[in-house]
Amino acid sequence: MDKKVTVIGGGNVGATAAQRLCEKELADVVLIDIMEGMPQGKALDLTEAAPIEKHDASVTGANSYEMSADSDVVIITAGIPRKPGMSRDDLLSTNMGIMRQVTEQVAKYSPNAKIIVVSNPLDAMCHVAYEASGFPKERVMGMAGVLDSARFRAFIAMELNVSVENTHAFVLGGHGDTMVPLPRYSTVAGIPITELMPQDRIEALCKRTATGGAEIVSLLKTGSAYYAPASAAVEMAEAILKDKKKILPCAAMLSGQYGINDLFIGVPVKLGAAGIEEIVEIKLTEDEDKALKHSAAAVQELVDTMKKL
């Protein structure tokens, strides 16, 4: 392949992302984890599946970063997942240290990469990656809006018994309990869902979306979701690798857009070869704007906490 993607963290999200990347032939993949033998074993297993899956992408496992050199995109999934009863924010101090160490290596070996952060608490971890990499803000982004919007779309399709392919949804804000699903901008075949279902059902779907991660955590009991998070990260990587100019909700560093400054938060962006090529400002109602500001305040609190750790 003429593109290279490194996935840091060989756990469920990382390994599933590696699988999707190679099976879609988006890039050669390097899977890195500190656990000896684990990324090598998973990479070999994926390589041995290639003849059946019919792809020619190479997958390499490693415990250090040399093999990752000159990656086009780096997906960071490293860190611990939450367990039932925990919030994503409970992971802050542990994952902050891991994120810093990992990003320093990424920046050293792949100074031109675009970084997609997946580790939680997502928006706060984007701040760590941004500072530790020293990269311009266009090249550091977080995966969350794509995941939250996919969950919203799945619930809309289930509710209305329509194809998921007919659905579109936008979820903005931080990747936490305060996230902001936007029913007005969520559609089925172009029709806003506000015209297709009663308000109480819309509210129920929004609530299920906002607690979607916790719902999976409470079912799995030993970890968090990985199929949908991996799909979401790979959709972002694909948009960058193929220079698709695709509008997706992602965590981006804002400088004044939506009245928010110096903060990573989920907003619609245009993703292409340069990373975040544009931050799309959509018109929000007073209530939607209030909800976004409330979500931004929750992220800001985590960023302030990190400064004291």
The question of whether 55 is a catalytic residue gets the answer no
- Tell me the two tokens of residue 73: 């995109």
How many residues bind ligand LMR (CB under 6 A)? The answer is 12
Considering only residues 103, 120, 149, 167, which one is a binding residue for ligand LMR as defined by CB under 6 A?
A: 120
Helix (H) or strand (E) holding 7: strand 4-8
Q: Closest residue (Cβ) to ligand LMR?
A: 213
CA nearest 223: which of 46, 4, 15, 7? 15
| Shortest CB 122 distance to ligand LMR, Å | 6
82 vs 114 by CB, closer to ligand LMR? 82
Site for ligand LMR in 194-233 (CB under 6 A): 213, 216-217, 224-225, 229
3-state secondary structure of 70: coil
160 vs 216 by CB, closer to ligand LMR? 216
* 190 CB neighbour count, 10 Å cutoff: 7
- Tell me the two tokens of residue 208: 């299920």
82 vs 139 by CB, closer to ligand LMR? 82
Site for ligand LMR in 143-172 (CB under 6 A): 147
Contact assessment for residue 265 and residue 252, using Cβ atoms and an 8 Å cutoff = yes
| Shortest CB 84 distance to ligand LMR, Å | 10
| Shortest CB 119 distance to ligand LMR, Å | 9
Is 14 assigned a ligand-binding role in the annotation? yes
> Binding to ligand LMR by residue 103, rule CB under 6 A?
no
Alpha helices (H) along 110-211: 122-133, 145-160, 199-210
Alpha helices (H) along 134-175: 145-160
Considering only residues 55, 82, 114, 139, which one is a binding residue for ligand LMR as defined by CB under 6 A?
A: 82
Distance CA 300, CA 298 (A): 5
Cis peptide leading into residue 121 (ω within 30°): yes
68 vs 119 by CB, closer to ligand LMR? 119
| Tokens 């919203």, located at residue | 152
| Tokens 């530790």, located at residue | 132
CA nearest 146: which of 71, 212, 102? 212
39 vs 229 by CB, closer to ligand LMR? 229
The residues carrying an active-site annotation are 175
Binding-site annotation, residues for substrate: 82, 88, 120, 151
List contacts with ligand LMR (CB under 6 A): 81-82, 88, 120, 147, 175, 213, 216-217, 224-225, 229
